[in-house]
Amino acid sequence: MSATTMPAAPARRRISGTGDRIFEWLCRGAGLLVLALLGAIILTLFIGGLPAFREFGVQFLWSAEWNPVEGRERYGALVPVLGTVVTAVLAILFAVPVAFGIAFTLTELAPEWLRRPLGTAVELLAAIPSIIFGMWGLFVLVPLIQHHIQLPFGETLGALPLVGVLFESNNFAGTSILAASLVLAIMILPFIAATMRDVFDQVPPVFKESAYGLGATRWEVMTGVVVPYTRVSVVGGVMLGLGRALGETMAVTFVIGNANRLATSLFDPTNTIASVVAMEFPESLMGSLKQSSLLALGFLLFVISFLVLALSRWLLRPRLK
């Protein structure tokens, strides 16, 4: 670790060796700063959340209470944690098939001249700030759900045994888990699609040509050659999308309804860790128990998304080289 990998040739004539040393330490110092940054983020969130952890103990993790009334303050993480996980997983379920279709189109189906503009369009979708997705979701998607999706779904699917309850709700505002996961799905779509396209492109052409030579159709080449070859990286790309969906704040805050309630239906409002922090942190009193509880939530979110992102990177590792 200590020495440079590129062995600095034994300097016969000292050509400002000090300059070299200073510059190398400058670069290494900046690298250490990045490491320290991550450590500091974890540490500040944990220390900030300590009073809440101490006050509520492990119960904090599975209590669904959120009571800011003075003297009877009780805070629990269950609702936001569940909301975060459920919306992110639903978003993945919505986004992955579409992302796969886009990646398949971009690598196999689209004519050469169309691939670049299509790819750029997908990447531009990724560049749009999250608050824009939030506004679009609130003013376009939410009314759509409210007027055209919730009623038919509630009437037809609500009658089903067991799963019917998922579609029945007495919340008719349109701001709901479904709205949040759809917006999230659109937001992470370009990230997953771009990763899939990149890994599909790395399949050696010989493999594909051999399969085509045997008379396989494009779909058979995809399922028989490309997907098995890239499976691990595809999962890594999906994990990357999941990591992004877990921590997305503004878009979700706009459309999820921000109610601290356990949702039983797709059309119920609830909240996520990020949205509850965005809604309540700026107006909470400095150093209050509420602020500490929100920091504790932030710590939980950091742990969850760190694990997912680390897993994603580990899975994508062979392709990144």
Dist CA 233 CA 103 (whole Å): 13
Dist CA 171 CA 189 (whole Å): 28
Q: Which lies closer to other proteins via its Cβ, residue 196 or residue 266?
A: 196
Sign of the four-CA dihedral 290, 291, 294, 296: negative
Dist CA 169 CA 70 (whole Å): 32
Q: Which lies closer to other proteins via its Cβ, residue 20 or residue 155?
A: 20
Q: Which lies closer to other proteins via its Cβ, residue 55 or residue 302?
A: 302
Q: Which lies closer to other proteins via its Cβ, residue 199 or residue 294?
A: 294
- Residue 152, both tokens: 């038919």
CB 114, min distance to other proteins, A: 10
Residue 16 is given by DSSP the state -
Q: Which lies closer to other proteins via its Cβ, residue 74 or residue 313?
A: 313
Q: Which lies closer to other proteins via its Cβ, residue 37 or residue 165?
A: 37
- Which residues lie below 8 Å from residue 47, measured CB to CB, with a gap of 6+? none
CB 320, min distance to other proteins, A: 9
CB 143, min distance to other proteins, A: 12
On whether the CB atoms of residues 302 and 310 are closer than 8 A, the answer is no
Dist CA 100 CA 84 (whole Å): 24
On whether the CB atoms of residues 256 and 269 are closer than 8 A, the answer is yes
Residue 239 is given by DSSP the state H
CB 146, min distance to other proteins, A: 17
